[in-house]
Structure 1
Amino acid sequence: MNNVIKAVAGGVAGACALTLLHETLRRFVPDAPRMDVLGMRAISKLMNMAGEEPPQDEKELHNWTLAGDILSNSVYYSLAGTGKDAWWRGAVLGAAAGAGAVLLPGPMGLGEAPSNRTTKTQAMTIGYYLLGGMVAAAVGYALSGDEEAAEEV
């Protein structure tokens, strides 16, 4: 399997892990980040700027947000790549995404509360994205195992 496909598989795995974790914990943990709320605000804001009407049904808008999150995070986490270097790339990408998710929504006009409400919320936000990066790295590394073993011989 080609390294780009392996990296994309890792990116998809990381994005799905992030989304699954977020969607599960937001239902049970009061201080959990609400990245879905930020996503819905971002989609609405962008569509309004483009002169389009965003979905009025909150469930439909939420589904758009989840699809957009998985797509964009898959592309982003694919940058972790394959091989043993995927580990440090996944960690850096995850930590950077988490820090950005805490620091950028306010200046972008999306509100701070969903990812910055409490210290616990901030730590969970960074941790979620770090986990996504590490899952992407693990899959990229695992898929590259046969090729790396062949190179060592």
Structure 2
Amino acid sequence: MKKLDHVDMQILQILQEDGRRAYTDIAHQLGLSEGTIRSRITRLLQDGVFQFVIHPDPEKLGLHVQAIIGLTTKLGLQNSVAEELSKFPEVRFVGAFSGKHDLIIQACFHNNEELITFVNERLSQCEGILAADVSLELKQYKDSFSFVRDEDVAI
């Protein structure tokens, strides 16, 4: 993978703001050719620097209950538990962490009953889960995938 330069960071910042921006608009904004923008974006995609995704609002999809669930796993089974949890459609995120919990997942549900069923029927059937600590999101202050900051692209 080629090291990211100032132009790559500028392109990423623009796409963070609006991933539907036309290559011609980006080229005009940065004073470069459309071909340069197209080839750089292609390279960034091929190198796995970013991907185009749709980030829907769970609340607007009727998923009114969002939970963060910290899991304690049996030694040696963390990976297999994580792989199994990754297959569940309710689960949006699975990560291994240091600290109190071995795995932390984020999952979305239509209502509290679905969450209860998920914990009592789905999680309880996963071999290797010893304990689950469920926290409900009461209010969301930020949900962003914007990692490129102004200081990252400053000259």
- Shared fold (TM-score, shorter chain, > 0.5): no
Higher strand share: 2
Structure number with greater CO (CA < 8 Å, separation at least 6) is 1
Largest Rg, 1 or 2: 2
TM-score by length of 2: 0.29
Higher helix share: 1
TM-score by length of 1: 0.30
